[in-house]
Amino acid sequence: MFKFLFALAVGIALGYNYGWNDAQVNEKAYYERLVDQIGGTNRDLVRNDIDARQSADGR
């Protein structure tokens, strides 16, 4: 049980340190940059704007 708690504490400390350093360097959070990188190019293809669809159909 001690090994598990020790590994958990070390993991939390390393993750906090990485997050803190990342926040000091970048303006956006890590997950925001990841979403921009993964879905940034495809975001316009899956847009769900009903008004724009109706305008395009000529309604």
- Domain-by-domain residue ranges, the chain? 2-57
How does pLDDT run across 14-55, given as a tens digit for each residue? 999 999 998 899 888 888 888 777 766 666 666 666 777 677
Sign of CA dihedral 32, 33, 38, 43: positive
The C-alpha atoms of residue 16 and residue 9 are separated, in whole angstroms, by: 11
Coil vs helix vs strand at 47: coil
Sign of CA dihedral 23, 25, 27, 29: negative
Helix (H) or strand (E) holding 10: helix 2-25
Residue 3: what pLDDT?
Answer: 96
